[in-house]
Amino acid sequence: MTTHDQSEVLARVARGLLYSESEAAFQSGLRRSDLIFEYNHTPPGEAARRRDLLERILGSVGERTVLLPPFHAGFGSNVHLGDDFFGNVNLTFVDDVEIRIGHGVMIAPGVTLTTTGHPVHPDLRVDFGRYSEPVVVEDKVWIGSNAVVLPGVRVGHGSVIGAGSVVTRDIPPMTVAVGVPCRPVREITEEDLKERQEIR
């Protein structure tokens, strides 16, 4: 594939249009599969080694980042994590394009963040036809266990995504959102600061 052809494919990807596995094969060098395997098999006591691997795997990684193994990523290099990030076990990044996660984000076990979907008509899924749109998780978000965030979604600052939710559209800042499909159910307010606090 020529450089011109590659540029044309990348332009389609950037616009959220369909592309195939064969067309995207030139990006295979950006995959960090071997490093992800190594990270997932690194003993818990080797924190410095884990950090070094994470810096080599991800597009960028903030300070005081915890990502418990195993985690999974199509590329790894398209994932960007902010400071004070906590990702629990079995976090999956389908990162054919960028996944950007802000500061102070907490993600529970079994969550999937996917930038990629497939067309409904089977004739368009030949050669694994697909489309990709970036995912953004803003600062101080908490995502509950087994939630799925779909392509093109932005989760707003401070929001909470309930366990088992399927997030198909943007979630406003400072809201609790739950369900399939995920919908905001209420705002997060000053009253929530009293939660599980002793009353004196």
The CATH number covering residue 125 comes to 2.160.10.10
Q: Which residue has the tokens 């697909």?
A: 130
Which of helix, strand or coil describes residue 143?
Answer: strand
Residues in Cβ contact with 40 at an 8 Å cutoff, skipping those fewer than 6 apart = 69, 70, 71
pLDDT tens, residue by residue, 143-198: 999 999 999 999 999 999 999 999 999 999 999 999 999 999 999 999 999 888 87
Strand partners of residue 25: none
Whether 118 is catalytic: yes
Backbone angles phi, psi at 115, to 5 degrees: -95, -5
Percent of the chain exceeding pLDDT 90 equals: 93
Determine, yes or no, domain membership for 198: no
Please, what sign has the CA dihedral across residues 189, 62, 41, 48?
negative
Is the pLDDT assigned to residue 65 strictly greater than 90? yes
> Quick one: average pLDDT of 38-54?
96
Is the pLDDT assigned to residue 51 strictly greater than 80? yes
Q: Count the neighbouring beta carbons within 10 Å of the beta carbon of residue 20.
A: 15
Please state, in angstroms and rounded to a whole number, the distance separating the CA atoms of residues 59 and 75.
10
Please identify which of the residues 72, 80, 118, 121 carries the catalytic annotation: 118
Determine, yes or no, domain membership for 192: no
Is the pLDDT assigned to residue 109 strictly greater than 80? yes
Query: How confident is residue 2, by pLDDT bands cut at 50, 70 and 90?
Result: confident
The confidence score (pLDDT) of residue 55 equals 97
Range of the domain at 153: 3-185
The confidence score (pLDDT) of residue 156 equals 98
Determine, yes or no, domain membership for 17: yes
Six-digit token string for 77: 């290099």
